[in-house]
Amino acid sequence: MKLKRSYAEDVALLRDTPQRVGFAVLVVGLLGFPLLAVATNSTYLVFRACLAGVYVIAAIGLNLLVGYAGQISLGHAGFLAIGAYTTSLLELKLGVSFWVALPMGGLVAAAFGFLVGLPALRMTGPYLAIATLGFGVAVQQVLVKWESLSGGSLGIHPPRPSLGAWTFDSELRLYYLIIPVAIVLTVLAVNLVRSRIGRAFVAVRDSDIAAEAMGVNLVLYKTLAFAVSAFYAGVAGGLLAALVGFISPESFNIIESVNYFTMIVVGGLGSILGSILGALLISALQHLLSGVKAVPQVVYGLILVLVVIFEPMGLRGRWLKVKHYWQSFPF
């Protein structure tokens, strides 16, 4: 019977303790934050937290495409628009439940992502970036012109989600809808990148020729990367519509696409954690700079340039350095 741990086990336990404590603090914080905010009459902070959850979902999806699969996309807001309008129109026009309309919005966006991914088989670099940028602009213009369906520039007001007699009609209730969905999709993304599909994405990113020589089906995995990324964006769009209670084509312009791209670059390409950190940072900056017109875009651009120059791995790279320092600290 083993009564005493070895020195190595003691060291391992000490090193794992901060991660366990950090995870426990995160869980308690996520559950208790909205209650504390409501108790202090800071419901706007709950709204910002919900919006941050939407950003996290969209950023993770985009990072799966750009960071892991190596396919450039500058029209990601177009996929959010498709998901938002599909979810909302299914509820308004056909009376479909939100719980069915939300995944349907993601699947419709994924179908468009698959179609957009087809040109990626022949285009790379700036040519693919321009093609995806054109897709985002085209989606916005179609929504503006198709007034009978989308309401044009006047937009539409989707209903609040409900579950039986329970209606998600406040920021606090929507928080407990959006954050769990974000957590589930984050876990799915982590498992995806660790699977055979994730390894195939990385192989395609590193070298098309080498990946194909190793038996990786480029047609399958490039289009799959676009479809999965678009699915995440579609779900984020549906949740955004439920949160805001109003959507219009102007909500999904090219600036929004650039913002999502900024999130993953600042957070760290090829990293789920980086996607989360980047989304949270941009969300916090939006809150802090909300009262200053035009300045936020300048700040985003400045941060993007500084990150590319001084910390190419983004916030995740900085975290890895801090983590390495902690693990090397002599106990």
What whole-number percentage of the chain has pLDDT above 70? 82
pLDDT of residue 286: 83
Cα–Cα nearest to 256, from 279, 229, 225, 226:
279
Greatest Cα-to-Cα distance within the chain, rounded to the nearest angstrom:
76
Binning pLDDT at 50, 70 and 90, where does residue 7 land? very low
Cα–Cα nearest to 280, from 18, 28, 48, 37:
48
Kindly give, in sequence order, each residue whose CB lies less than 8 Å from that of residue 77, ignoring residues fewer than 6 positions away.
136, 139, 140, 252, 253, 254, 256, 257, 260
> pLDDT tens digit string along 267-279?
889 889 889 999 9
pLDDT of residue 112: 95
pLDDT of residue 43: 77
Q: Say if residue 9's pLDDT is above 50.
A: no
Q: Report DSSP letters for 143-161, one per residue.
A: HHH-HHHH-GGG-B-PPPP
Neighbours of 327 (CB within 10 A): 10
pLDDT of residue 169: 82
Please, which residues bridge with residue 4 across strands?
none
> pLDDT tens digit string along 249-267?
988 988 889 899 999 999 8
pLDDT of residue 113: 94
Kindly give, in sequence order, each residue whose CB lies less than 8 Å from that of residue 11, ignoring residues fewer than 6 positions away.
331
Average pLDDT, the chain: 84
Say which residue, 111 or 25, is predicted with more confidence.
111
pLDDT of residue 138: 93
Q: Say if residue 28's pLDDT is above 60.
A: yes
Binning pLDDT at 50, 70 and 90, where does residue 83 land? very high
pLDDT of residue 296: 67
> What is the average pLDDT across 299-314?
80
Binning pLDDT at 50, 70 and 90, where does residue 61 land? very high
> pLDDT tens digit string along 112-139?
999 998 887 787 778 888 889 999 999 9
